[in-house]
Chain A
Amino acid sequence: MTERIERHHYDVVVIGAGGAGLRAAIEARLAGKRVAIISKSLFGKAHTVMAEGGAAAAMGNANSRDNWQVHFRDTMRGGKFLNNFRMAELHAKEAPERIWELETYGALFDRTPDGKISQRNFGGHEYPRLAHVGDRTGLELIRTLQQKIVSLQQDDKREFGDYDARIRVFAETTITELLLDGDRVAGAFGYYRESGEFLLLQAPAVVLATGGVGRSYKVTSNSWEYTGDGHALALRAGATLINMEFLQFHPTGMVWPPSVKGILVTESVRGDGGVLKNSEGKRFMFNYVPDVFRKQYAETEEEADRWYNDPDNNRRPPELLPRDEVARAINNEVKEGRGTPAGGIYLDIASRRSADYIQKRLPSMYHQFKELADVDITKEPMEIGPTCHYVMGGVEVEPDSGAAMGHVQGLFAAGEVSGGMHGSNRLGGNSLSDLLVFGKRAGEYASRYVDSTEKRPAVPAADVEAAVDAALAPLQRDAGENPYKLQQDLQAVMGDLVGIIRRKGELEDALVRLAELRERVAKVSSSGGRRYNPGWHLALDLRNMLVVSECTAKAALEREESRGGHTREDFPAMSAKWRTVNLVCSLDGDKVRLEHKPLPTMRPELIHLFDRGELSKYLTEGELTDFDGSVTEGAGK
């Protein structure tokens, strides 16, 4: 072998430089460990900057009745009780400390009149709970963590004369493979995007913080980085993924023009008079009112239109049906050929409200589309469709430590790449606090793990050679397909067949097509050289996107119910039986294996935060009997 490989030694390698990764790195460095941070983009550009709403933490600044128990309850409700209760508990308890800590790093949140951190209302949260900075909370969070890392580097410079002495950021670097010594993590192999040169980081502990999987979908709010790298690395290292069927879609994201594709259109456009129309100009939602909602929703356009001004004497317009009903209707119109050329439908407020009214009621929407795309929403309808936003599923972890389950040691995961915390659906604001709470924990426990290892694991040279060969393969083939074409095809399969509304036949079809794509991706070729070659980088990412997509499709086919971010048209109801089950994916050779695993049972003091009436919507008869038993027992004492 003649490839040059740059070698480094670290105690902890953190893959991913978004909120979770940076928080983990800070914690490991504070524990005295030498830390490498791998950033796929430049330092400080990670997807965390996109978060607008805020970070949920029960600090009780806006309403003193708020506390961790209320936050825990809201999180479990949002996740439809499929959450790992211990993660939801830790998250609710520790989020306030993590937010306050950011202030000592220099963060400047918006304030209440008495000078505390201001908290705003958000869907699903009982009290105003989201710490925020205007609509750029994510940017504040990542910049604060970035600057804290710089400040630690300045400390190290004073002590050792070198900024990089204990934390080094490897910017624009992609990890393609984790290397193992038996079942212990031994290091990470990857390449510098700039030069195409390889590097090998030897370390006993690796923290995955790579974010989500949205790039496998045609319409997504996610950036190019979101190719499920961490999910795939974990699988290949012997770890397991859970809840992969649960993806958060927003029913109304822009699909055209391309400059704003994936950007979310707030639900209030419909609340303020916007209606959904198909390519024939027909207001189609009247055809999609399910029987259970028939009584609350208008049957004619006239009645619906009267509701906006006189809600007491008229029934609601069907555009305001629950999210999944709207999504199903849009999906069906498009599938039956009444969609727009870009595969969406029209959301029209322009022909129904005056320009003044729209600008006054929806100022940020108006400016966003005007500035980004020169689309004037007061003059023309918007082209919208379901948009992939967040993946609830991810690496199955031990709740307290973030250590990956399965048969691998020394691997940790935090943030969007880990699973369990959000159950089947994530509440807005819970992702920023999630990555702080579990980023810290992963960094802390990775450091402890390093302390407990007596002998540093060794990297098998043959595995390094194999990783080099795999990385160079797309450049050495010249007859294969263009990676961009393959990505488009993968996105089409996932978008059309494993999208927001799922059906058995389509999911089976998706698995067949994914298997075909697997053959084609194995033969992908990219032109050009190794220096900053995005085609080559995409060719290497495709393998990860594919295996993660397969997990999602398999789990979606298996779970025969609708819950949170998983909607099956053939099984539209939530099933108490399925609530007790997690679907766990692992890799057997190169095949995805799916297993059922029982959900851990909630501790009595936690389950008693809910009343029986609410629990009866989620729990099986057996579980309810146990609950009743524990109530009597509690009373007996």
Chain B
Amino acid sequence: MGEKRQFKVWRGDETGGDLTDYEVEVNEGEVVLDIIHRLQATEAPDLACRWNCKAGKCGSCSMEINGMPRLGCMTRMSTFEENETVTVTPLRAFPVIRDLVTDVSFNYEKARETPAFAPPEDLAPGEYRMQQVDVERSQEFRKCIECFLCQNTCHVVRDHDENKNAFSGPRYFIRAAELDMHPLDAREDRKTYAQQHQGLGYCNITKCCTEVCPEHIKITDNAIIPMKERVVDRKYDPLVWLGSKIFRRRPNDDELVHAGSTSTAGPAMSGAELPDAHQRTEEQEVERGVNWHRRPAPAQLPAVGANGRLGVSEAAFDRSGAASPFGDDVEFPMPPRDLNYAHPDQD
């Protein structure tokens, strides 16, 4: 079979970690993700790593290989020297969860803040007509597999966590550009939005994002630069400005979904515990009487979020006050054995 090669893989979690040395068999034609899988199947079964399609189509196995942001499934072992140690580390711009898995929720938050496609009001489904040449410009950006390598490599956030609030990153600039170039999108303010709320101005066109894109999307040339130019056009071209005042009421800024608005990360772990079983019939309960030796189950705490508040989905639940403190599966009157009552004589 294959020969042994040297690997260093970062192992650890948010509290810290280190590079661990591994000697792994490598066969002809394998990619880095194959080696990670071999490690999992042999000496490191709990090595954490995301992957799905293993064909460069889903964008899950993003990692840094010898410091370069890459997809593990698209990085062939044959691109390294035989005696070269291959170092695999998690994406640097995002907080580590475990080993090679990072918390990429930043990207999903930015996705939520980017205004969605606005369908034209006067067209019913089936009536959309567009020319191939017109859809192709947006189609280039819709090739994006959301591997977030561009987000990870962008120096605006890579070493400046503080910029994350105001900066959406290349992935969401191409989303804005895609909608801007969409032949039938009804919204006219994509560029203004990108400038005012997505932090397009932070980008100084170093093209790092384009270099790492596994789909070879020309992020800088075809999306960011045109978006920057167009923003300038709109703001300073007096004719465009006049036209927009006379012919079209531009959407009020207040209607925009504002960037940087706090999104609730959803209820975090709340020390909720379950009440004990109460499966027996009433008759059996009466026969058994009260079980004085039962350790009363602690009341169930509401599922509050990181901000200490109940999530809206829970608060809007059709029973006011959300979850019952006794647990929602409790019928009243409660069976005696489930009462949270300890007799004073109990030892």
Residue numbers of A with Cβ under 8 A of B are: 1-10, 34, 41-47, 49-50, 59, 96-97, 100-101, 103-106, 108-111, 113-116, 118, 133-134, 136, 139-140, 143, 147-148, 150-151, 153-154, 157-158, 160-166, 168, 171, 194-195, 197, 202, 223-225, 256-260, 262-263, 371-375, 458-462, 464-465, 482-485, 488, 526-529, 531-536
- A96 and B273 form a contact (CB under 8 A): no
* A223–B53 CB distance below 8 A: yes
With an 8 A cutoff between CB atoms, is B169 at the interface? no
With a cutoff of 8 Å between Cβ atoms, the chain A residues found around residue B135 in the complex are: 108-111
B312 touches A161 (CB 8 A): yes
User: Is the beta-carbon distance between A374 and B138 smaller than 8 angstroms?
Assistant: no
Chain A: which residue is nearest B111 at the CB level?
Answer: A150
Known contacts A111-B130, A461-B329; is-contact A41 B117 (Cβ 8 Å)? no
| Chain B interface mostly | loop
CA separation between A136 and B142, bound complex, in Å?
A: 10
Binds A, one of B56-64, B160-168, B202-210, B228-236: B56-64
Interface string of B39-79 (1 = CB under 8 A from A): 01100011111111111111110000000000001101010
- Are A458 and B328 CB-contacts (below 8 A) given A1-B273, A41-B60? yes
Contacts of A465 in B (CB 8 A): 274, 277
Contact count band on B? 35 or more
B residues near A108, Cβ cutoff 8 Å: 130, 135, 138-139, 142, 182
Determine how close the nearest CB of chain B comes to the CB of A180; give it in whole angstroms.
12
Knowing that A150-B116, A372-B56 are A-B contacts, what are 18 other residue pairs whose CB atoms are under 8 Å apart, sorted by A's residue number?
A1-B274, A9-B322, A104-B128, A105-B117, A115-B131, A134-B139, A143-B142, A143-B146, A148-B116, A158-B257, A165-B312, A165-B316, A197-B269, A223-B52, A259-B54, A371-B74, A461-B277, A534-B45
Contact between chains at B131 and A154 (CB < 8 Å):
no
In contact, A168 and B40 (Cβ under 8 angstroms): no
Contact present for A47 and B40 (CB under 8 Å): no
Instruction: Say which one of B94-102, B237-245, B339-347 lies at the interface with A.
Output: B94-102
Collect the chain A residues with CB atoms within 8 Å of residue B33's CB: 259
Given contacts A160-B312, A258-B34, contact A5 B273 (CB under 8 A): yes
Q: Is B266 an interface residue (CB 8 A)?
A: yes
Closest 3 CB pairs of A and B: A257-B29, A528-B46, A106-B117
Q: How far is the CB of A136 from chain B (nearest CB, A)?
A: 7
For chain B residues 18-47, which have a beta carbon within 8 Å of chain A?
27-31, 33-34, 37, 40-41, 45-47
Question: Are B97 and A531 touching (Cβ within 8 A)?
Answer: yes
Task: Determine the chain A residues whose CB is within 8 A of the CB of B117 once the complex forms.
Answer: 105-106, 147, 151
Residues on B with C-beta less than 8 A from A147 are 116-117
A111 to chain B: closest residue by CB? B132
Q: Are A532 and B313 in contact (CB under 8 A)?
A: no
Task: Check if B336 is an interface residue, CB within 8 A of chain A.
Answer: no
Choose from B46, B275, B328 the contact partner of A535 (Cβ within 8 Å). B46
Q: In the bound complex, do residue B58 and residue A532 qualify as a contact, i.e. CB atoms below 8 Å apart?
A: no
Chain B hits for A483, CB < 8 A: 45
A interface footprint on B266-300 (CB within 8 Å = 1, 0 otherwise): 11111111111111000000000000000000001
B145-190 contacts to A, CB under 8 A, are: 145-146, 179, 182, 185
CB distance from A50 to the nearest CB of B (A): 6
> Residue of B at shortest CB range from A148?
B116
Q: How far does the alpha carbon of A116 sit from the alpha carbon of B53 in the complex, in Å?
A: 31
A151 to B257 alpha-carbon distance, docked (Å): 11
CA distance A76 to B71 in the complex (A): 41
How near does chain A come to B34, taking the closest CB pair, in angstroms? 5
Asked whether B264 lies within 8 Å of A163 as measured between CB atoms, the reply is: yes
By beta carbon, the residue of chain B nearest A342 is: B27
> Is the pair A168, B278 in contact by a Cβ cutoff of 8 Å?
no
Evaluate contact between B45 and A484: CB separation under 8 angstroms: yes
Q: Give, as a whole number of angstroms, the nearest-CB distance from B43 to chain A.
A: 11
Q: Contacts A105-B117, A165-B313, A484-B41 given: A374-B275 contact, CB under 8 Å?
A: no
Task: Please give, as numbers and ranges, the residues of chain A lying within 8 Å of B314 by CB-CB distance.
Answer: 8-9
Asked if residues B266 and A164 are in contact (CB atoms below 8 Å), the reply is yes
Contacts of A526 in B (CB 8 A): 45-46
Partner of A106, one of B29, B116, B328, B329: B116
Which listed residue (B119, B131, B264, B328) contacts A111, Cβ 8 A? B131
B248 touches A (CB below 8 Å): no
Contact across chains for B313 and A45 when beta carbons are under 8 A apart:
no
B112:A154 contact, CB within 8 angstroms: yes
Contact between chains at B116 and A133 (CB < 8 Å): no
Q: Is A258 touching B274 in the complex (CB atoms < 8 A)?
A: no
Also in contact, A8 and B303, with CB within 8 A (given A103-B125, A202-B328): yes
How far apart are A314's CB and chain B's nearest CB, in angstroms? 36
B48 in complex: contacting residue of A96, A103, A151, A534, CB < 8 Å: A534
Give 1 or 0 for each of B119-136: 1 = CB within 8 Å of chain A CB.
Answer: 100000110111110010
CA distance A6 to B269 in the complex (A): 6
Instruction: Give complex CA distance A108, B98 in Å.
Output: 37
Q: Within 8 Å CB of B267, what residues of A?
A: 6, 8
A7 lies within 8 A of B52 (CB): no
Q: Which residues of B contact A134 (CB under 8 A)?
A: 139
A139, B327: Cα distance in complex, Å: 42
Taking a contact as CB atoms under 8 Å apart, the answer to whether B277 and A164 are in contact is no
Neighbouring B residues of A372 by C-beta, 8 Å:
31, 55-56, 73-74, 76
Point out the residue from A50, A96, A118, A165 that lies within 8 Å of B55, measured CB to CB: A50
Judging by beta carbons under 8 Å apart, are A484 and B53 in contact?
Answer: no
With most chain A CB atoms within 10 A of its CB, the pick from B316, B317, B329 is B329
Taking CB atoms, residues of chain A closer than 8 Å to B225 are none
Q: Indicate if the CB atoms of A461 and B45 lie closer than 8 Å.
A: no
CB pair A100–B125 under 8 Å, yes or no, is yes
Asked whether B328 lies within 8 Å of A9 as measured between CB atoms, the reply is yes
Assess whether A4 is in contact with B182, with CB atoms less than 8 Å apart.
Answer: no
Once the chains are docked, how many angstroms separate the CA of A336 from the CA of B9?
41
Known: A47-B53, A462-B279. A103 touches B128 (CB 8 A): yes
A224 touches B119 (CB 8 A): no
* A371 vs B216: C-alpha distance when bound (angstroms): 13
Docked CA distance A429–B126 (Å):
19
| Given known contacts A114-B129, A459-B329, A534-B46, A5 and B272 CB-to-CB distance under 8 angstroms | yes
Q: Is B108's beta carbon under 8 Å from chain A?
A: yes
Q: Is the CB of A45 within 8 A of B49?
A: no
A138 to chain B, nearest CB (A): 8
CB-defined contacts of A529 to chain B, threshold 8 Å = 46
Q: How far is the CA of A412 from the CA of B277 in the complex (A)?
A: 28
Contact across chains for B40 and A9 when beta carbons are under 8 A apart: no
Shortest CB-to-CB span from A552 to chain B, Å, is: 23
Identify the closest chain A residue to B270 (Cβ).
A6
Report the bound CA distance from A257 to B117 in whole Å: 42
B317 surroundings in chain A (CB, below 8 A): 9, 34
Q: Complex formed: what's the CA distance from A82 to B127 in Å?
A: 36
A536:B46 contact, CB within 8 angstroms: yes
Sample 21 A-B pairs with CB under 8 A, ordered by A number: A6-B270, A6-B303, A9-B322, A41-B50, A41-B60, A42-B50, A47-B52, A105-B119, A106-B182, A158-B257, A162-B264, A165-B316, A224-B52, A225-B52, A259-B34, A259-B76, A372-B56, A374-B29, A527-B45, A534-B40, A534-B47
Instruction: Assess whether B313 is in contact with A162, with CB atoms less than 8 Å apart.
Output: yes
List, in ascending order, chain B residues with CB within 8 A of A534's CB. 40, 45-49
With A108-B135, A111-B135 in contact, do A164 and B311 touch (Cβ < 8 Å)? yes
Q: Check B329 against A45 for contact (C-beta < 8 Å).
A: no
Is the CB–CB distance between A374 and B55 below 8 Å?
A: no
- CA of A5 to CA of B328, assembled, Å: 13
Chain B: CB-nearest residue to A170: B266
CA A561 to CA B260, docked complex, whole Å: 62
B125–A104 CB distance below 8 A: yes
Q: Is the CB of A461 within 8 A of B274?
A: yes
Contacts of A166 in B (CB 8 A): 313
Across the interface, do A460 and B55 meet the contact criterion of CB distance under 8 Å? no
Shortest CB distance B296–A (Å): 13
